Amino acid sequence: MNMVHKIAHTRKQFLWFMVGLEDIAQNVYGFAPDIISAQIALETAYGKKVINHNLFNIKATKSWKGETCKVMTTEYISGKPKKMFQYFRAYNSYLDSLKDYVHLLHYKRYADAWAFRKNPRLFFQALVNGGYATDPEYSKSLLKRFNTIQHIERHGETIG
């Protein structure tokens, strides 16, 4: 199964899409505003490349029992980008993707990230420390998306 689709064409459309998921992330799981949107913005290019409802681009390891998608991606090996095919988890809904992401953050390797879910800078760095991504600039890229989203919301393009 290989299904990459768009959820938005612009950043503003992306933020409109994120309103419901942000509400759940904040009110059910205790995340600070826009942390989830920043990570999804980075992982999906602001909603332009979503792999089968997998908003966080979580890979399908051997322990994954659900559906998968094989997609060309860029991984960093010894700090150098390399294109390769990887298997990613597939979900039936965006809410399933969020729930699985929260479940993943409860694993020991991401315990610090879970603890820092109210502090964007510490949360993003803890994801990197736990091995969430191979990109050496991942934390910096997440913070850049976070700041961009905050800027859009502060300058008259408030969403929701």
Q: In 7-120, which ranges are E strands?
A: 50-51, 68-77, 80-89
Nearest Cα residue to 67 out of 104, 93, 43: 93
Nearest Cα neighbor of 47 from 36, 32, 31, 33 is: 36
Query: Is residue 67 among the annotated active site residues?
Result: no
The active-site residue out of 22, 34, 43, 100 is 100
Identify the active-site residue in 75, 96, 112, 135.
75
Max Cα–Cα distance, the chain, nearest Å: 46
What whole-number distance in Å separates Cα of residue 106 and Cα of residue 113?
Answer: 9
The yes-or-no answer on residue 135 being catalytic is no
Angle at 42 between CA 118 and CA 51, to 5 degrees: 115
Q: Please tell me whether residue 84 adopts helix, strand or coil conformation.
A: strand
| Residue appearing with tokens 């950043």 | 11
What amino acid positions are annotated as catalytic residues?
A: 75, 100
